[in-house]
């Protein structure tokens, strides 16, 4: 395009870097101008004066004006310069929407000659409009399982400008999943489509943000954009996934039923109902009786009483399923921790209920087995017995303990032992079990009978009846039964040429001694016996003791006058005394003896008969014979004195 006429307004802004107008005579005889849209107000459109053959000044002189006919005029006459100028900005797209050519007709009237000139002003397009989309943002939904090549409509853009200034092309922001395809309608109109190039995964990227740009061909290029949100629709294409492949928990065995253990959790990345997960056991019956799984929450809790001793560990499989039957597995490990709930158990593997006394130290009494159902420290057991007993516990093989004697036992001291064996575990608090072992100490004949005295003395009056019980000896034997059964015997010595057994006998069971004779003190005064006590043990043990039997005197002998001797010829005995005998003259001695002893042998003398009483007297003296053991039987004891007494004994006796 070239300007046929160019004129610069001297008073106005410089606007005309553009080609302003084009004048040519069309076949219609109209003057033709061309002006770009959007020019400043007052812009020159054409030099009217010149084109109708007038001087500029003549325009006003001849009353030139634009005939409006009531319509809005976009042009005005500048009568001073004789040119046609714009009266405001002209927007081609507003004036001639959708038209390829925008022609405005202007009629100019010269009033003086009433002449009309027709003008045609073509408003040419400039690229003043960018392509535009109806919305700023559009959403497109595609299933994540859509096949490659799937197409979706994209929004169209419009550009009010024409030709190259109009919409020329679309571009899509770079994206690995989608490409842009231009399609044409039957009428040749083009529209953009989105093509799926790479598979979608909602779980990976649920929304793709794209920008569609529409560009025109102007210079400079104008463009418009729309944000395209591609929303990936869910398909149940994901299996649930457990948050852990193994869930472990340790729990004391004594937790109450209903205790929560853990919660398994499987998540399904799918949406809504596709992502709903239910849980199932895949376990054997025994564990099912112990644990409950909530199919919705995944909570696992106990429904039975756990027992570490029965089962200390459970390994269970839990499954999570979604609505499409897709599932996942996880393992649940439950460790049942021991609690010290079992006391030790003591089993007597072997027991001697009776042990002979005197058995050597170390004799095994019992073999005990200790066991505790608990584990670890709770199952470790020690055994003990009271320390003041003559026994000890020795650790034997494994969990066995031997109860052995610590010293030789003496039945005579303690015949029965109650031994309490205490088994204690190491739990906190510890539990213990007492086991009572009763041990009898069997008798051994280790004690001889014992007499209570080292020797015995017994006294018996002479002239005792035969068979009289004299005395009783008793020996004791601390042993028991036969070992304590005592038999008494007397050693059968010879006494005064007779065996002792003819004097005395003993009841072998009671130890009572009997006189077999009547004893005569005057024959013997004592008798020594050896009494033996013998038990019935095997072999028997015995002990002897001496018993002295003293015969006690009885007054069983009359005194016997030894002098003067009683005449045997029937005559009387005669004693002579001189006439001149002084008082106190010893007439004769009377000597008498008594077989008895002691007081029984004390003699008293007295004149029985005298012709002349008063002439003679008996010096009544006694001679105490010696005590037992002193022979006095043959010793003269007294004298008859004439008024006077004297003793033969060395020590004087008091006169009577
Ligand atoms: C399950 O795990 C997911 C992911 O770790 C978490 O967001 C959700 O809260 C968990 N559910 C439960 C019930 O703990
Ligand atoms: C031992 O225990 C038994 C039974 O408890 C009891 O009868 C007996 O008298 C006890 N013996 C001793 C020596 O304590």
Please report, for the chain, the start and end positions of each structural domain, with discontinuous segments joined by +: 3-124, 132-233, 241-337, 345-442, 450-552, 558-656
Distance of CA 568 to the CA centre of its chain: 125
Q: Provide the 8-state DSSP code for 114.
A: T
Query: How far is ligand 1, taken at its centre, from the CA of residue 331, in Å?
Result: 17
Candidate from 438, 439, 440 with most ligand 2 atoms within 8 A of CB, to mutate: 438
State the Cα–Cα distance between residues 517 and 238, nearest whole angstrom.
130
Q: Name the residue among 226, 62, 50 with its Cα closest to residue 138.
A: 226
Helix (H) or strand (E) holding 48: helix 48-51
Helix (H) or strand (E) holding 95: helix 92-95
Q: Which residues contact 70 (CB under 8 A, 6 or more apart)?
A: none
Which residues are bridge partners to 646 per DSSP?
A: none
> Which ligand minimizes its atom distance to the CA of 268?
1
Q: Which residues contact 329 (CB under 8 A, 6 or more apart)?
A: 242, 282, 317, 318, 319
Q: Indicate which residue's Cα is closest to atom 7 of ligand 1.
A: 267
Q: Is 163 helix (H, G, I), strand (E, B) or coil?
A: helix
Token pair listed for 67: 């005939």
Candidate from 240, 267, 268 with most ligand 1 atoms within 8 A of CB, to mutate: 267
The answer to whether residues 591 and 636 touch, using CB atoms and an 8 Å cutoff, is: yes
Task: Please report the pLDDT score of residue 624 as a whole number.
Answer: 47
Pairing mode of beta strands 31-36, 115-124: parallel
State the Cα–Cα distance between residues 638 and 650, nearest whole angstrom.
13
- Measuring CA to CA, how many Å separate 176 from each of 149, 179, 199? 13, 8, 10
Task: Please report the pLDDT score of residue 149 as a whole number.
Answer: 93
The alpha helices in 206-365, defined as continuous H runs, are: 285-288
Q: Name the residue among 41, 160, 45, 30 with its Cα closest to residue 92.
A: 160
Q: Name the residue among 403, 487, 405, 413 with its Cα closest to residue 443.
A: 413
Q: Hey, which CATH number is domain 345-442, 3.40.630.10, 3.40.630.30, 2.60.40.60, 3.40.718.10? A: 2.60.40.60
Token pair listed for 276: 């709903």
State the Cα–Cα distance between residues 405 and 363, nearest whole angstrom.
5
State the Cα–Cα distance between residues 556 and 538, nearest whole angstrom.
51
Q: What atom in ligand 2 is closest to the CA of residue 418?
A: 1
CATH assignment, 3-124 = 2.60.40.60
In this structure, how many other beta carbons lie within 10 angstroms of the beta carbon of residue 439?
23
Q: Name the residue among 509, 466, 453, 464 with its Cα closest to residue 486.
A: 509
Q: Is 619 helix (H, G, I), strand (E, B) or coil?
A: coil
Query: Do the two domains 132-233 and 345-442 of this chain adopt the same fold?
Result: yes
Query: How far is ligand 2, taken at its centre, from the CA of residue 623, in Å?
Result: 72
Q: Indicate which residue's Cα is closest to atom 13 of ligand 1.
A: 265
Q: Which residues contact 552 (CB under 8 A, 6 or more apart)?
A: 459, 460, 461, 462, 521
In this structure, how many other beta carbons lie within 10 angstroms of the beta carbon of residue 472?
14
Q: What atom in ligand 1 is closest to the CA of residue 297?
A: 13
Query: How far is ligand 2, taken at its centre, from the CA of residue 390, in Å?
Result: 17
**Own/partner long-range contacts of 149-152 (Cβ < 8 Å, ≥24 apart):** 149/195, 149/196, 150/195, 150/196, 151/181, 151/193, 151/194, 151/195, 151/196, 152/193, 152/194
Q: Name the residue among 641, 533, 623 with its Cα closest to residue 586.
A: 641
Residue for token pair 């009577």: 656
Q: Name the residue among 301, 242, 235 with its Cα closest to residue 270.
A: 235
State the Cα–Cα distance between residues 101 and 98, nearest whole angstrom.
9
State the Cα–Cα distance between residues 21 and 90, nearest whole angstrom.
14
Q: Hey, which CATH number is domain 241-337, 3.40.630.30, 2.60.40.60, 2.60.120.10, 2.60.40.10? A: 2.60.40.60
Q: Indicate which residue's Cα is closest to atom 5 of ligand 1.
A: 243
Q: Is 321 helix (H, G, I), strand (E, B) or coil?
A: strand
CA angle 454, 456, 457 (to 5 degrees): 150
Which CATH architecture group holds 450-552? Sandwich (2.60)
Q: Indicate which residue's Cα is closest to atom 14 of ligand 2.
A: 418
In this structure, how many other beta carbons lie within 10 angstroms of the beta carbon of residue 404?
17
Query: How far is ligand 2, taken at its centre, from the CA of residue 383, in Å?
Result: 21
- Measuring CA to CA, how many Å separate 646 from each of 21, 564, 582, 656? 216, 18, 16, 11
Q: What is the DSSP string of 330-373?
A: EEEEEEEE--S----EEEEEEE-SEEETTPPTT-EEEEEEEE-S
pTM of the entire predicted model: 0.51
Greatest Cα pair distance, the chain, in angstroms, is 258
Q: What atom in ligand 2 is closest to the CA of residue 438?
A: 1
Which CATH architecture group holds 132-233? Sandwich (2.60)
* Mean pLDDT in order along the chain per 10 residues (656 residues): 36 34 52 90 89 85 83 85 89 85 88 86 90 93 92 91 89 94 86 94 92 92 94 90 94 93 93 91 84 94 90 92 91 92 92 92 94 89 91 91 93 92 92 94 93 92 91 92 93 90 92 93 90 93 94 88 77 75 78 83 78 72 41 42 37 39
Q: Indicate which residue's Cα is closest to atom 12 of ligand 1.
A: 265
The answer to whether residues 345 and 262 touch, using CB atoms and an 8 Å cutoff, is: no
Q: Indicate which residue's Cα is closest to atom 9 of ligand 2.
A: 418
Q: Name the residue among 448, 467, 462 with its Cα closest to residue 512.
A: 467
Q: Indicate which residue's Cα is closest to atom 2 of ligand 2.
A: 418
Pocket of ligand 1 (CB under 6 A): 243, 263, 265, 267
Is residue 429 reached through a cis peptide bond, with omega within 30 degrees of 0 on the bond before it?
Answer: yes
Candidate from 388, 411, 416, 441 with most ligand 2 atoms within 8 A of CB, to mutate: 416
Pocket of ligand 2 (CB under 6 A): 416, 418, 438
Q: Which residues contact 229 (CB under 8 A, 6 or more apart)?
A: 137, 138, 139, 140, 207, 208, 209, 210
Q: What atom in ligand 2 is closest to the CA of residue 414?
A: 13
**Burial code of 328-365, b = ≥16 C-beta within 10 A, e = fewer?**
bebebebebbbbbbbbbebeeeeebeebebebeeebbb
Q: What atom in ligand 1 is closest to the CA of residue 265?
A: 1
Task: Please report the pLDDT score of residue 620 as a whole number.
Answer: 55
The answer to whether residues 216 and 128 touch, using CB atoms and an 8 Å cutoff, is: no
Distance of CA 180 to the CA centre of its chain: 69
In this structure, how many other beta carbons lie within 10 angstroms of the beta carbon of residue 220?
7
Q: What atom in ligand 2 is closest to the CA of residue 417?
A: 13
Query: How far is ligand 2, taken at its centre, from the CA of residue 418, in Å?
Result: 6
> Which ligand minimizes its atom distance to the CA of 320?
1
Q: Indicate which residue's Cα is closest to atom 11 of ligand 1.
A: 265
Q: Name the residue among 599, 648, 579, 651 with its Cα closest to residue 619.
A: 648
In this structure, how many other beta carbons lie within 10 angstroms of the beta carbon of residue 375?
15
Side-chain-side CA neighbours of residue 156 (13 Å): 9
State the Cα–Cα distance between residues 539 and 533, nearest whole angstrom.
14
Query: How far is ligand 1, taken at its centre, from the CA of residue 265, in Å?
Result: 6
Q: What atom in ligand 2 is closest to the CA of residue 416?
A: 13
């Amino acid at each position: 395009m070239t300007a046929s006429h160019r004129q610069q307004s001297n008073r106005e802004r410089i606007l005309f870097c553009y080609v302003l107008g084009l004048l040519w005579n069309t076949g219609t005889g109209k003057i033709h101008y061309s002006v770009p849209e959007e020019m400043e107000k007052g812009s020159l459109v054409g030099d009217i004066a010149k084109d109708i053959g007038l001087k500029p000044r003549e325009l006003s002189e001849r009353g030139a004006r634009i005939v409006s006919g009531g319509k809005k005029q976009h042009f005005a006459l500048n009568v001073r310069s004789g040119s046609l100028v714009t009266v405001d900005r002209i927007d081609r797209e507003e004036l001639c929407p959708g038209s390829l050519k925008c022609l405005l007709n202007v009629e100019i009237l010269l009033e003086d000659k009433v002449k009309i000139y027709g003008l045609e002003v073509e408003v040419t397009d400039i690229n003043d409009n960018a392509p535009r989309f109806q919305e700023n943002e559009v959403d497109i939904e595609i299933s994540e399982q859509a096949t490659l090549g799937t197409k979706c409509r994209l929004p169209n853009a419009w550009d009010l400008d024409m030709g190259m200034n109009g919409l020329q092309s679309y571009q899509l922001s770079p994206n690995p999943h989608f490409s842009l395809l231009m399609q044409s309608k039957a009428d040749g109109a083009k529209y953009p489509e989105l093509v799926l190039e790479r598979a979608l995964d909602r779980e990976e990227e649920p929304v793709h943000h794209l920008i569609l740009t529409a560009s025109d061909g102007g210079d400079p290029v104008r463009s418009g954009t729309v944000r395209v949100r591609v929303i990936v629709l869910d398909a149940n294409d994901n299996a649930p996934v457990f948050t852990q492949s193994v869930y472990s928990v340790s729990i004391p065995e004594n937790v109450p039923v209903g205790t929560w253990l853990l919660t398994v959790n499987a998540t399904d990345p799918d949406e809504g109902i596709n992502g709903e997960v239910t849980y199932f056991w895949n376990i054997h019956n025994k564990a099912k009786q112990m644990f409950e799984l909530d199919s919705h929450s995944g909570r696992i809790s106990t429904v039975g009483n756990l027992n570490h001793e029965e089962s200390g560990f459970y390994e269970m499989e839990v499954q999570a399923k979604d609505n499409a039957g897709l599932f996942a597995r996880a393992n649940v490990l439950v460790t049942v921790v021991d609690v010290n709930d079992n006391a030790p158990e003591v089993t007597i593997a072997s027991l001697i209920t009776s042990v002979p006394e005197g058995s050597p130290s170390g004799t095994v009494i019992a073999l005990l087995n200790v066991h505790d159902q608990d584990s670890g420290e709770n199952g470790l057991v020690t055994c003990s017995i009271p320390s003041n007993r003559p026994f000890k516990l020795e650790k034997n093989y494994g969990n066995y303990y031997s109860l052995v004697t610590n010293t030789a036992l003496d039945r005579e001291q303690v015949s029965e032992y109650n031994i309490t064996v205490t088994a204690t575990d190491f739990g906190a608090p510890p539990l213990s079990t007492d086991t009572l072992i009763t041990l009898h100490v069997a008798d051994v004949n280790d004690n001889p009978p014992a007499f209570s005295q080292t020797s015995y003395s017994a006294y018996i009056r002479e002239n005792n009846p035969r068979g009289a019980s004299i005395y009783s000896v008793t020996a004791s034997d601390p042993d028991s039964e036969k070992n304590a059964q005592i038999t008494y015997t007397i050693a059968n010595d010879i006494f005064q040429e007779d065996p002792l057994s003819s004097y005395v006998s003993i009841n072998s069971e009671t130890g009572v001694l009997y006189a077999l004779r009547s004893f005569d003190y005057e024959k013997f005064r004592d008798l020594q016996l050896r009494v033996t006590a013998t038990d019935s043990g095997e072999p028997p043990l015995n002990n002897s003791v001496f018993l002295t039997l003293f015969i006690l005197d009885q007054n069983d002998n009359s005194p016997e006058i030894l002098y003067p001797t009683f005449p045997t010829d029937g005559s009387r005995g005669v004693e002579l005394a001189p006439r001149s005998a002084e008082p106190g003259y010893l007439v004769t001695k009377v000597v008498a003896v008594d077989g008895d002893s002691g007081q029984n042998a004390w003699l008293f003398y007295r004149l029985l008969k005298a012709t002349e009483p008063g002439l003679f007297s008996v010096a009544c003296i006694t001679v105490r014979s010696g005590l037992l053991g002193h022979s006095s039987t043959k010793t003269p004891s007294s004298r008859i004195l004439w008024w006077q007494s004297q003793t033969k004994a060395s020590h004087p006796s008091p006169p009577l």
